[in-house]
Structure 1
Amino acid sequence: MDILFWLEDSFIGMVVSSTQWGYPIILSLHAVGMATLVGVALMLTARVLGYAPAVPVTSMAPYWRVAVGGFVLNLLSGSALFAGNASELFFNWAFRIKIVLVFIGLALTWRLVAICVRRTDDVSPLHRLLAAVAMSTWIIAIIFGRLIGYWS
């Protein structure tokens, strides 16, 4: 608990929790990062699932760098948001589930990028299954992210 209170009392924690614009600005950056990361991930998974078949799967590889940028923004802004309310968020089950799902979604999407996008335009049934699970994971992670404010 001491480290959680230390985070809340840190400069970032105080900016997020005790200033008029700290929380809205950091939350907005978090939303932009999420839109970037999850938007690219859903675009990739939708393509692998068969949407827009005229677009080669391999042409989507450069977008993964944009998604990684979104993840870095989310990691930084999410850490700041956590610091603003660490002693409560640490024990929030929706937060814990969201974090686990985000890392599962990252791993699945990264695997999909490595298999589908960088090698070939051929999409196997295993790739489609991987894409469906990755897409579901991202959607459920967003839902649990929204539930953080309602679960204690």
Structure 2
Amino acid sequence: METLFWLEDSFIGTTVSSTMWGYPIVLSLHAIGMATMVGIAMMLTIRVLGFAPNIPVTAMTPYWHVAVGGFVLNLLSGTALFLGGASELFFNWAFRAKLVLVVLGLMLTWRLVRICIARSDDVSLAHRRLAGVAMATWIAAIISGRLIGYLA
């Protein structure tokens, strides 16, 4: 607990939790990063699931770099949000579930991106299943994130 209180008392932690604009600005950045990362991940999964078959799967590859930028923004803003309430968030099961789901979503999406990078437009049933699981994981991560404020 001492470490958690120390994190909350850090410059970033107090800026997020104790200033008028700290929390809204960081939360807004977190939403922008999420929209970018998850939006692109969803575009990829929807394409692999069969939507817009005229667009080659390989055409999705360049978007991954933008998604990584969104993830970095989320990582930084999410860390700042955590520092603002570390002693509560550390014990919040919805927060822990979100972290696990985000890591899983990243791993599953990276596997889909590797299919695109492989320069193959052949999408198998296994790829479609992977896309479905990735999509469900991102949706569950978003829901878990929303539940953080309501559940302990």
TM-score strictly above 0.5: yes
Alignment match, 2:108: 108
The one-letter code of the counterpart of 1:118 is I
Alignment match, 1:62: 62
Distance in 1 separating the partners of 2:6 and 2:62: 40
The one-letter code of the counterpart of 2:150 is Y
**Once the 2 structures are TM-superposed, how far is the Cα of residue 2 of structure 1 from its aligned partner?**
1.3
Distance in 1 separating the partners of 2:69 and 2:3: 28
Structure 1 unaligned residues grouped into runs of 5+: none
Q: How is 1:28-43 mapped onto 2 (pairs within 5 angstroms)?
A: 28-43=28-43
Deviation string, structure 1 residues 48-97 (Cα, Å, up to 9, x no partner): 00011110000000000000000000000000000000000000000000
Deviation string, structure 1 residues 76-122 (Cα, Å, up to 9, x no partner): 000000000000000000000000000000000001111x2011000
Matched, 1:144 2:144: yes
Distance in 1 separating the partners of 2:42 and 2:123: 16
Query: Residue 54 of structure 2 aligns to a residue in which SS?
Result: coil
Q: After TM superposition, which residue ranges in structure 1, 4 or more long, deviate above 2 angstroms?
A: none
The one-letter code of the counterpart of 1:57 is V
Number of residues of Structure 1 aligned to a counterpart in Structure 2: 151
Query: Residue 26 of structure 1 aligns to a residue in which SS?
Result: helix
Query: Residue 34 of structure 2 aligns to a residue in which SS?
Result: helix
Q: How is 1:11-50 mapped onto 2 (pairs within 5 angstroms)?
A: 11-50=11-50
The root-mean-square deviation of aligned C-alpha atoms, in Å, is 0.4
Distance in 1 separating the partners of 2:27 and 2:65: 22
Distance in 2 separating the partners of 1:3 and 1:112: 38
Distance in 1 separating the partners of 2:28 and 2:54: 34
